[in-house]
Structure formats: C-alpha cells, structure tokens
C-alpha cells in the first residue's frame, strides 16, 4: 500500500481552515462508506445460501469471496472523500 502525502496548504485552499476541511471530508467519507455497505449487502443477498447446515467458519463461499475481494481493491472511503474535496466536487454550506 502506497502512502501519498497531502500538502495541508492545498487543503486550506478549499476551506477556511484545516479543521473545517476534515469535518467536511469525514462526513462525505461516512456517506461513501454507507453507500458501499448498502451495495455490498445487496450483492451478498443475491448469493444463494449453501446447503451446509453446520455453522463452521472454515466454509468459504467462492462467490462471496469474489465480492469481498472486489470491495477490498476499491479505494478507501476517506481517500475518496479527500480527493473529491480537493477536486472541488463536494458542496457544503452552514446550517442557519
């Protein structure tokens, strides 16, 4: 896994301060994570249950494993949210 540094001055260009940017990105990250959970659960619900009655954890369903590996390869929600924030794709406003 590569670690990519982000210049804090670049983040401050898009928000009035760094803490505001963190809150905005974290809220978007939670939304992305919730969307991923819904998609993951929807895909899992399409997989037929096995006829195996024992609840052994060693049993591996290849279809479920494939879906899990696909989701593992995706970018993490916090990285996606930060990229969206830096690209100006996130709109935010203050509550009055």
How many domains are there within the chain? 1
The whole-angstrom separation of Cα 43 and Cα 37 is 10
In a domain, 94, yes or no: no
Per residue of the chain (96 residues), give pLDDT as tens. Answer: 678 888 888 998 998 889 999 999 999 999 999 999 999 999 999 988 766 655 555 667 888 889 999 999 999 999 999 999 999 999 888 888
CA–CA gap between residue 61 and residue 50 (Å, rounded): 8
Its domain, for residue 13, covers: 8-45+62-86
- Rounded Cα distance between 9 and 78, Å, is 19
Q: At what angle do helices 62-73 and 18-45 cross, to 10 degrees?
A: 160
């Amino acid at each position: 896994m590569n670690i990519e540094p982000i210049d804090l001055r670049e983040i401050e260009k898009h928000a009035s301060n760094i803490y505001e940017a963190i809150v905005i990105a974290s809220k978007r990250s939670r939304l992305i994570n919730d969307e991923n959970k819904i998609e993951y659960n929807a895909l899992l619900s399409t997989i037929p249950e096995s006829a195996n009655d024992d609840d052994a954890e060693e049993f591996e369903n290849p279809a479920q494993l494939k879906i899990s590996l696909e989701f593992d390869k995706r970018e993490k929600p916090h990285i996606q949210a930060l990229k969206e924030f830096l690209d100006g794709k996130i709109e935010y406003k203050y509550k009055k």
